[in-house]
Chain A
Amino acid sequence: MTTIALKNVWKIYEGPVLAVKDLTVTIEHGEFFALLGPSGCGKSSTMRMIAGLEEISKGEIWFDQTLVNKLEPPERNVAMVFETYALYPYLSVYENIAFPLRIRGMRRDEIDRKVRWAADFLGISDLLPMSVKGLSGGQMQSVGIGRAIVREPSILIMDEPISHLEARVRARMREELVKLHDQLGTTTVYVTHDQVEAMTMADRIAVMNLGVLQQVGTPKEVYEHPQTEFVGGFIGEPPMNFADCELKREDGTLYACSDSFKVPLPAETAGKLDAQHEKARVRLGIRPESIGVESAPSQDSVRASVYVLEPQGERTILSARLANGELFLVEVPPDFDAQPDDAVFLRFRQPIHLFDVESGINLI
């Protein structure tokens, strides 16, 4: 088990293209750490720098007390699992798993023992004599994982390992990977663009966008307290609703006002805002489950009309059009019934997030 520390790490490709900007983060030993973000956010570059596949333009990467900037991949004892499996197609399952051990010149009986242990651990012992060419996606990825864990690496990096698999297999593999991590305890860096994977599997998540680290925290923290507008919008399905508004104080109460709503903010929220922001334009962010729907108007409710209803089984997503034409997604019970253009009244509940219009930083 190894602690990984990235200190002010930059990656600038030729062009110049800025891939990673001043990234500082520590991945604790034995942690299941997810690097999450859309494509082009710098997560893959970060992963490749940790693995030693990419040079670091600036900054330092430490594995425990060792500076690894100049170490080649084989010297780092990092194992990788790839999205496209990256198996050696001309070798059998057995030989694929044995591959890293053979490079190390291990004794034949030792290799055999370890390969069988890994295969047994992953439940793929039956596949050992087979060629990897005929395997299903899930089986291939199991072989890829076997190849990674067989040499007991100090760090395991998984690069979107289940993105290529069909939905049913993906759900099973998610559980398998968490179980695998729990049993091995290896420091694991899991790279993904799928927030559901990150939220359900990781101990902590680092959300990245355009090469910049947006937030590091537990899944609960990044969901409940997004530090930036990007994190708020990226984490959560359906995504957070946003609207530009102005803050106004009337009779001691702070209101978020726009053309379509005037929502009172609790004193606690108002207390966290500095004087500069109190009169400024801000971006209000609210999750679909934090909005209630009423059929009759009441004090502070927001008038809207039904645009689309999306039944999803255990819940229904209502797309409601506000007075100024903005659409807000609202989570409603599955038995909610309405026709398009029916009037509905939305009640904004806590937590309501306020983001700086310029920087996107959460002001609360």
Chain B
Amino acid sequence: MNAETTQETIVLDARQRRILLGRRLMRWLYYLLTALIVMLFLFPWLWVFSLGFKTRSEILSPTIVWIWKPTLVNFYEVLIAKGYWRLIINSLIVAVSTVTLCIVIGVPTAYAFSRFPIPGKESWFYMILTFRMAPAVVLALPLYILFARAKLLGTYFAPILAHCTFTLPFVIWLMRSFFDDIPKEIDAAAMTDGYSRAGAFFHAILPLVKSGIVAVALFSIIFSWNEFLYGLILTSDATRPVASQIPSLIRPHGTLWGEVCALATTASLPVAFLIFALQRQLVRGLSFGAVKG
């Protein structure tokens, strides 16, 4: 800028100032609303998290203890002394197996629904969805009898197969919409390029729905990880997932709140970590259809 240049001041009239102020207000309102929503979801978890680090007397104190010296005694008691760390492994085995099974079966099924002229296709499709709609308790008794006869009660297979009843329809339902969004010409291109139908599916179509599969798998893991009823009634102490074991900390002489919260915190960490690590894929997967427009 040389010496001759005069600095120009932009003068806003009253109307422009009002518009500018309105925009700023809207932006702050938006931030405030976002913060409120985040707090709404985060607060219960932070509360549980904090209780895990308090002693029993601090937890049961009539007034809320805001400042305290964190202790790991609850974590030690529940995970090491009671040996509940094994339940986390159980949950991992059940959730990972459920999701693997559902993805392996559900993704090709969804592709078939999307691409092949199956007789009565839509009726079949809605029938699958009704499994997802049914409350878990409706299937609990039949599944119990089935697994008892098949001698699967108390094994890992029982919760894994039971979790598939609601996870598999979810995978099929969502993956079908992802496949529907991919032009059928890509299949045709891959087949005329030299792949069989299966080859086209694996090499040309699957790479396109990778993000979708990650998103669906993540949700399925969360469903399975948090499931309570089947985990409780179809398993034994040795195979029970962590979510179903928490009520065992409610004792006749009182609930062990510190241990409940320590276990809940520990149990939520793997899923939280997974979502955090894969959040980019998750968002991309969820917005798959929208992006394709």
Interfacial residues, chain A to chain B (CB-CB below 8 A):
13-14, 48, 51-53, 72-74, 78-80, 82-90, 99-100, 103-104, 147, 151, 157, 159
Q: B204 to A80, Cβ gap below 8 A? A: no
Q: Return chain B residues, CB-CB under 8 Å to A100.
A: 193-194
Known: A86-B185, A87-B189, A90-B208. 13 other contacts (CB 8 A): A14-B117, A74-B192, A74-B194, A74-B195, A74-B196, A78-B192, A80-B188, A80-B192, A82-B185, A84-B185, A86-B188, A88-B186, A103-B195
Q: Return chain B residues, CB-CB under 8 Å to A151.
A: 194
Q: A53 to B192, Cβ gap below 8 A? A: yes
Q: B192 to A79, Cβ gap below 8 A? A: yes
Select which of A85, A86, A89, A103 is within 8 A of B194 by beta carbon: A103
Q: B192 to A104, Cβ gap below 8 A? A: no
Provide a sorted-by-A list of 19 A–B residue pairs whose CB atoms are within 8 angstroms. Answer: A14-B117, A51-B188, A53-B188, A53-B191, A72-B191, A73-B188, A74-B192, A74-B193, A79-B193, A80-B188, A80-B189, A82-B188, A83-B185, A86-B186, A88-B186, A88-B189, A88-B204, A89-B208, A147-B189
Smallest CB separation, A105 vs chain B (Å): 10
Select which of A79, A84, A103, A147 is within 8 A of B183 by beta carbon: A84
With A88-B204, A90-B207, A90-B208 given, is the CB distance from A82 to B189 under 8 Å?
yes
Inter-chain CB contacts under 8 Å: number:
63
Interfacial residues, chain B to chain A (CB-CB below 8 A):
117, 119, 183, 185-186, 188-189, 191-196, 199, 203-204, 207-208
Across the two chains, which residue of chain B brings its CB closest to A79? B192
Name B's interface SS: helix
Of the listed residues B183, B189, B207, the one surrounded by the most CB atoms of chain A closer than 10 A to its CB is: B189
The CA-CA distance from A52 to B192 in the complex, in Å, is 8
Smallest CB separation, A333 vs chain B (Å): 45
Q: Return chain B residues, CB-CB under 8 Å to A14.
A: 117, 119
The CA-CA distance from A159 to B192 in the complex, in Å, is 13
Q: Which 6 pairs from chain A and chain B are nearest by CB?
A: A86-B185, A103-B194, A100-B193, A86-B189, A73-B191, A82-B185
Q: Return chain B residues, CB-CB under 8 Å to A89.
A: 208
Smallest CB separation, B202 vs chain A (Å): 12
Smallest CB separation, B289 vs chain A (Å): 15
The CA-CA distance from A48 to B119 in the complex, in Å, is 21
With A14-B119, A86-B183 given, is the CB distance from A104 to B194 under 8 Å?
yes
Q: Return chain B residues, CB-CB under 8 Å to A147.
A: 189, 193
Smallest CB separation, B170 vs chain A (Å): 26
Q: Return chain B residues, CB-CB under 8 Å to A73.
A: 188, 191-192
Q: Return chain B residues, CB-CB under 8 Å to A87.
A: 189
Smallest CB separation, B211 vs chain A (Å): 11
The CA-CA distance from A14 to B116 in the complex, in Å, is 12
Q: Return chain A residues, CB-CB under 8 Å to B186.
A: 86, 88
Q: Return chain A residues, CB-CB under 8 Å to B204.
A: 88
Q: Return chain A residues, CB-CB under 8 Å to B191.
A: 52-53, 72-74
The CA-CA distance from A79 to B195 in the complex, in Å, is 12
Smallest CB separation, B208 vs chain A (Å): 7
Q: Return chain B residues, CB-CB under 8 Å to A72.
A: 191, 196
The CA-CA distance from A282 to B193 in the complex, in Å, is 50
Across the two chains, which residue of chain B brings its CB closest to A78? B192
Smallest CB separation, A160 vs chain B (Å): 11
Across the two chains, which residue of chain B brings its CB closest to A51? B192
Smallest CB separation, B125 vs chain A (Å): 16
Across the two chains, which residue of chain A brings its CB closest to B188? A53
Q: Return chain B residues, CB-CB under 8 Å to A48.
A: 188
The CA-CA distance from A14 to B122 in the complex, in Å, is 14
Across the two chains, which residue of chain A brings its CB closest to B194? A103
Of the listed residues B117, B188, B195, the one surrounded by the most CB atoms of chain A closer than 10 A to its CB is: B188
Across the two chains, which residue of chain B brings its CB closest to A99? B193
The CA-CA distance from A72 to B194 in the complex, in Å, is 9
The CA-CA distance from A53 to B185 in the complex, in Å, is 10
Q: Return chain A residues, CB-CB under 8 Å to B207.
A: 88, 90
With A14-B117, A88-B204, A90-B208 given, is the CB distance from A103 to B185 under 8 Å?
no
The CA-CA distance from A83 to B185 in the complex, in Å, is 9
Across the two chains, which residue of chain A brings its CB closest to B121? A14
Across the two chains, which residue of chain B brings its CB closest to A85? B185
Q: Return chain A residues, CB-CB under 8 Å to B193.
A: 74, 79, 99-100, 103, 147
Of the listed residues A90, A103, A104, the one surrounded by the most CB atoms of chain B closer than 10 A to its CB is: A103
Smallest CB separation, A42 vs chain B (Å): 17
Smallest CB separation, B148 vs chain A (Å): 43
Across the two chains, which residue of chain A brings its CB closest to B203? A103
Across the two chains, which residue of chain A brings its CB closest to B183? A84
Smallest CB separation, A113 vs chain B (Å): 18
Q: Return chain B residues, CB-CB under 8 Å to A53.
A: 188, 191-192
The CA-CA distance from A100 to B191 in the complex, in Å, is 9
Smallest CB separation, B8 vs chain A (Å): 39
Smallest CB separation, B22 vs chain A (Å): 38
Across the two chains, which residue of chain A brings its CB closest to B210? A90
Across the two chains, which residue of chain B brings its CB closest to A73? B191
The CA-CA distance from A118 to B240 in the complex, in Å, is 61
Of the listed residues B191, B193, B203, B207, the one surrounded by the most CB atoms of chain A closer than 10 A to its CB is: B193
The CA-CA distance from A59 to B146 in the complex, in Å, is 51
